[in-house]
Structure 1
Amino acid sequence: MPPLFAASDMHGHRSEFRDALHDAGLIDTAGDWCGADARLWLLGDYFDRGPDGLGVVDDIRRWSTQAAYAGGDVQALLGNHEVFLMAAHRFGTDPVPGWPPEEGGYYGVWRLYGGRERDLRRLTPDHLAWLSSRPTLALADDHLLAHCDSTGYLEFGASRNAVNDHVNAALASSDPYIWLHLWSRFCGRGDLVSPAAVDKLLSIYGGSTIVHGHSTLLSHFGLTPAEAVTAHRYTGGRVLAIDGGVFEGGRILVTRLT
C-alpha cells in the first residue's frame, strides 16, 4: 500500500508548507511533486492569518495533477476558513443574521478571523468552483479525516456522502441563514475528548481513528512549540490532532498515517 500522509491548517503560510512537504520527501527543491505513488490528504484552512492562502491552494491543485500523473494522489478537504472566505465573497458587508451590524457583515467577520484582502481580490470563478466541490469528510486506510474536532458533522447527514452532499449544496445556496448554520458548525471544537463522541462518529462515518486539524497543538492542547513537533494522539489513541499552529509560532506537521 502506498504511504499515506496528512497535513492541515496552512493558513496562508505557503513557504512553510512547501518546506514541510520538502522535508517529508513529497516535493523537490523546485516545488514539484516527487512523492511517486504517495497519498497526501490536506484537512482544510488554507486561507487567512498568513500572506498567501491562494498560493497554497494553487500549489495543492498543481500537486494534485502532478501526483496523479506519477501514480500518487493529493486531495483536500474543506475547512472553516474556506467557508469564511466564500461567505465574504458572496455576501460582502450584508449583515450576518443575529450579529450586530457594526461587525461589518460576513466580510467584517471574515476579516476579524484573519482574512487577507489579497486572497479575496485574487479569487477567480475557477478557485470558487474548486473550493465549493471539496469534500467535508473522507476515509483513507481506516482513518476518518475531518477538519474539526467536533460532532457538528452529525447535523449534516448520517453518512460521509450525505455530509459531503449537504455541505456542497449549502455552498451553492444564496440563503445567509444556511451559510450561518454551516459556518457555525464548522467552528466547533473540543468534542473528541469524549469517548462516546468518538464512538458515535466512527460508528456512523467509518474508520477506527479520527484525524483532524482546526484545534492547534499550542493554544488548544497546551503544548509548547518545542513539544508540538509531531501529531498529538488522545482519547485512548483513537484521535490524532495534526494542527501544529503555524500562525501561533508552531509548524505545519506533515504526518505519516500509514
Structure 2
Amino acid sequence: MVPLLVPLLLAATPPAPATPAPPRLDDAVPDTFSGVERVVAVGDVHGDVDALKEVLRLAGLLDDKGHWSGGKAHLVQTGDIPDRGEKTREAFELLMRLEGEAQAAGGRVHALLGNHEVMNMLGDLRYVSPGELASFADQATGPETSGSPRGFDGHRAAYGPTGRYGQWLRRHPAVVRIDDTLFVHGGVSPEVPAKTLAELNRWVRQDLFPGNPPGGAANPQGPLWFRGYALGEEQGAGLALDEVLKRFGAKRMVMGHTTDRDGKVRTRFGGKAVFIDTGLSTGYGRHLAALELRGGKVTALYREGRVELVTPVPPPLPIAPKQTVPRGQVSP
C-alpha cells in the first residue's frame, strides 16, 4: 500500500507558482485613469520610510498596523524613493505591498520613476550612502567582489533587469494622467518627442533596457530631470506648460524633484503647476506634506491641518442682453 500513496501525494501537491517573466520595453504600462474620486500625491522620499509611513497615515491611506486604509483612493508617489537615506529597501517593500492591498480595495498605488531610481538602475551611485549600499548585501548572487564596498554587488543585482527592485521599477511609468491631472517627477517639456503618454513612457523606459537608442530617462530635458516649470520665468514657462497640457489632455501638472525649502506645497500659473517636493525626508527637514485632489479641489495636507490651494471656478453668470436706450434718454 505504501508505494501507492507516493504518487497520490505527489499528484495532490499544488504546482509551484510560475516565476513572472522579466519586464520588456514593449510591455503595456498603464498610464491613464478616469473616474477617480480621491487622489493623494506624495513627493520625494529619499530613503526615509518612517516619514513616508507618517505622511500616508496623515492622508488616511495607512492604518496603525501599516496596511492600506485608503479604500478606492489612488496614491501617486512621484519618484525619488532611493538615495540619501538608509531605508530605501523598506520604502520599496512598503509600496510594493501597498500596490496589491490598494488594488484589492478598488484603489491604486502609482510609484513613478524618478531620476534617482534611474541613476541606481544605470549604476550612478554618487548619492548612495554606505549604509544604504550595505543594506543590499543579501541580494548578491555570488561572493562579493574583492575590494568593492559592502553591498555593491547586491545593489547592482537588485536594480538589474532581473533583480527584485529592478524588475518592479521597469514595470512602472514616468508619467500618468488621472482624470484631468498629469503626475510626473520633474516635468514634461514641450520638447519631448511624444504625442501620447504611451510614447512618452516608452521613450523614458528605453534607457532601462539594453540595446536601445538613448531615451528620456537620462536626458537632462526628459521628464525625470526637467525643472522648467519650477524655475523658469513666468511667461515662457507658462506658455510651454499650456502647450504640454493641451497635448496630453490635462488641466494641471503635479511635480516633485525641486525641493521647496519652506516645506510647503507650491503652485504656479494659476494652479496649473503644483510642486509637492516639500523635503519629506529627515535629511531635508522632515516636512510632512501631501497633496489631495478631490471634487475639483486641490488641497495641501499638513500636520497642522488642510490648506486649500485651488478651488473649482464657478461658471460665469449669464450676461443680460444689452438694452437699447432711445435717443434723447440717459441710460440708468
Q: TM-score by structure 2 length? A: 0.63
**Aligned partner of residue 254 in structure 2, secondary structure:** strand
Q: Superposed, which structure 2 residues align to 1:26-41 within 5 Å?
A: 26-41=61-76
C-alpha distance in structure 2 between counterparts of 1:32 and 1:165, whole Å = 32
Equivalences for residues 104-253 of structure 1 within 5 A:
106=124, 110-112=125-127, 116-117=132-133, 118-119=135-136, 121=154, 123=158, 125-151=163-189, 154-174=191-211, 178=214, 182-184=218-220, 185=222, 186-191=224-229, 193=232, 194-218=237-261, 224-225=262-263, 228=264, 231-246=265-280, 247-253=283-289
Q: Which has the higher helix share?
A: 1
Q: Deviations over 1:54-93 (max 9, x none)?
A: 21111111001001111111111110000000011xxxxx
- How big is the shift at 1:154? 3.5
Indicate yes or no: 2:99 matched with 1:56.
no
Distance 1:70 1:162, change over 3 A: same
CA distance in 2, matches of 1:217, 1:256: 18
The residue that corresponds to 1:84 in the other structure is 119
Relative contact order (alpha carbons < 8 A, sep ≥ 6): 1 or 2 greater? 1
Answer yes or no: is the 8 Å Cα contact 1:84–1:183 preserved in 2.
no
Instruction: Report the count of equivalent residues.
Output: 227
User: Whose Rg is larger?
Assistant: 2
C-alpha displacement of 1:114: 6.0
Query: Over the residues paired in the alignment, what is the CA RMSD in angstroms?
Result: 2.3
**Contact 2:118–2:217 at 8 Å: present in 1 too?**
no
Q: How far is the alpha carbon of 1:2 from its aligned partner?
A: 2.7
Give 5+ residue unaligned stretches, structure 2: 1-35, 137-151, 295-332
- Give the distance between the partners of 1:174 and 1:199, measured in 2 at CA: 35
CA deviation string 1:143-190 (max 9, x = no partner): 011110351x74342211101112222210257x83797253332213
| 5+ long unaligned stretches in structure 1 | 89-105, 219-223
SS class of match (2:278): coil
Q: Kindly provide the amino acid, as one letter, of the partner of residue 65 in structure 2.
A: A
Q: Secondary structure at the match of 1:65?
A: helix
Aligned to 2:291: 255
**1:109-153 Cα deviation digits (max 9, x unpaired):** x324768413563526132111112111111120011110351x7
TM-score with structure 1 length normalisation? 0.80
